[in-house]
Amino acid sequence: MSSERDPEDLTARARIRDAAMRHFAEHGFERTTIRGIAETAGVSSGLLRHHFGSKEALRDACDEYVLGIVRRLNEQTWAAFEAGDLGGAPSAQAPLGQFNRYIARSLIDGGSAELFDEITRMGEAWVATFDARRDDEPFTSARVRAAVVSAWGLALPMMSRHLSRVMGADLETPEGFALLANALLDLYSHPLMSPEEAAAARAGLSEAVDTERSHP
Question: Which pLDDT tens digit goes with each residue over 81-93?
Answer: 888 877 766 555 4
State the Cα angle at 11 between 7 and 13, rounded to 5°.
115
pLDDT digits (tens, 9 = 90+) for 119-157: 899 999 999 999 999 888 899 999 999 999 988 888 887
Per-residue pLDDT, 129: 94
DSSP state string for 92-139: GTPPP-HHHHHHHHHHHTT--HHHHHHHHHHHHHHHHHHHTT-SS--S
pLDDT at 144: 97
Contacts of 85 (CB under 8 A, 6+ apart): none
Domain residues of the chain, as ranges? Answer: 55-214
Cα–chain-centroid distance for residue 143? 16
